[in-house]
Amino acid sequence: MKNKVSANTVLITLWTIALLSLLVSSCGTKKKEGSGNNVPHDDEKITYNELVVGYAQLGAESDWRTGNTESILEAAEELGVELLFSNAQQNQERQIKAIRTFIAQQVDIIGVAPIVETGWESVFQEAKDAGIPIILVDRRADVPEDLYTTYLGSDFLEEGRNAGRIMVDLLDGKGRIVELEGTVGSAPAIDRANGFREVLEDYPEMEIIATESGDFTRAKGEEVMEGFLDTYGGNEIDALFAHNDDMAIGAIKAIEAHGFRPGIDIKIVSIDAIREAFQAMIDGKINATVECNALLGPQFFELALKVANGEKVPKWVPSDEGVFFPENAAEILPTRKY
């Protein structure tokens, strides 16, 4: 009898402990919810050392991209963030697969530079369903706003407009232009083309005689420029607008091989502001480069930490960018990181 009573007492005590711990844990949850917009208290916030980030890079197609990747890797290392990095080698399917792997690995945040604008809805929805925020870096995706948290990157439209304004000055409002486009369907190719045309609309004597994609690579830039020169002949082309410096550098080879002087016979405006474009400006072969900032690593992780801690962030964080000309290229070149 005595034993039975003590067994019951043990049972009741165990039940009481279980009930109490349940209450305590639900109080804990309440406290988090009550702290406004799901922002945890300072002592509950995670730090860089606890942050796990998956980054789906699109490829290694240009010097810009190499600089961008280095910036992401270096910032993660410096801040102590655990980074799972994948390079899709210019293939959307591979990029989607990488995002799915990050979802399965339950990372805190996924960063992605979408190779093209379309085709992301299902995989972004999967990330949302798994409670993992998506941060778009460098390029936007054409998806409903609730499928990503923020976009960190350039104003590609303005880059195109800047290139257009410079071209108008270089050609004095009159001339035949060939255009090397970036990857078909990518945000920078679409916006840079539109921005450029927006400016040219006011100049009826500025004509884009040919447009073709060089996929943001040197090799294709050279190949497509060869085609333009074969079709029109160098005397019929006054200028080249290249959506990135790598394609412009490829095109310079083709122009010289055809016996023309890049930067003089055929004016060149391109985008990115990579180190080699500065050298080409010093050599008189590129007339201007519009900056597209590749050094997004520190800003990306700052955003990722804020998002992981439930803090509000703007829907678009634009990067700071300038325009560079041959006049001060030699002075600026040593300061360029990519």
Pick the binder of ligand AHR from 108, 117, 138, 291 (CB under 6 A): 138
Choice between 108 and 138, CB closer to ligand AHR: 138
**Cα 31 off chain centre by:** 37
Q: Does 188 bind ligand AHR (CB under 6 A)?
A: yes
SS3 292: coil
Q: Which of 95, 244, 287, 289 binds ligand AHR (CB under 6 A)?
A: 244
Interaction of residue 271 with ligand AHR, rule CB under 6 A: yes
Residue 238 touches ligand AHR, criterion: CB under 6 A: no
Q: How far is CA 163 from CA 30, 179, 202, 213, 286, in A?
A: 54, 11, 15, 17, 12
Of the candidates 255, 244, 253, which has an alpha carbon nearest to the alpha carbon of residue 277?
A: 244
- Shortest gap between Cβ of 195 and ligand AHR (angstroms)? 13
Minimal distance in Å, beta carbon 217 to ligand AHR? 8
Query: What count of other Cβ atoms lies within 10 Å of the Cβ of residue 51?
Result: 22
3-state secondary structure 35-103: CCCCCCCHHHCCCHHHCEEEEEECCCCCHHHHHHHHHHHHHHHHHCCEEEEEECCCCHHHHHHHHHHHH
Q: Which of 139, 176, 220, 285 binds ligand AHR (CB under 6 A)?
A: 139
Nearer to ligand AHR, 95 or 244 (CB): 244
Q: Considering beta carbons, is residue 108 or 246 the nearer one to ligand AHR?
A: 246
Which residue type is seen at 315?
K
Would you count residue 218 as binding ligand AHR (CB under 6 A)? no
Judged by CB under 6 A, the stretch of 59-67, 162-170, 254-262, 281-289 that binds ligand AHR is 59-67
- Does the footprint of ligand AHR cover residue 293 (CB under 6 A)? no
Using an 8 Å Cβ cutoff, are 322 and 260 in contact?
no
Q: Which two tokens stand for residue 263?
A: 């930067």
251 touches ligand AHR (CB under 6 A)? no
Regarding 292 and contact with ligand AHR (CB under 6 A), the answer is yes
The site for ligand AHR, by CB under 6 A, has a size of: 13
Q: Which two tokens stand for residue 67?
A: 């600089």
Distance CA 232, CA 237 (A): 7
Q: Which residues bind ligand AHR (CB under 6 A)?
A: 61-62, 64-65, 138-139, 188, 216, 244, 246, 271-272, 292
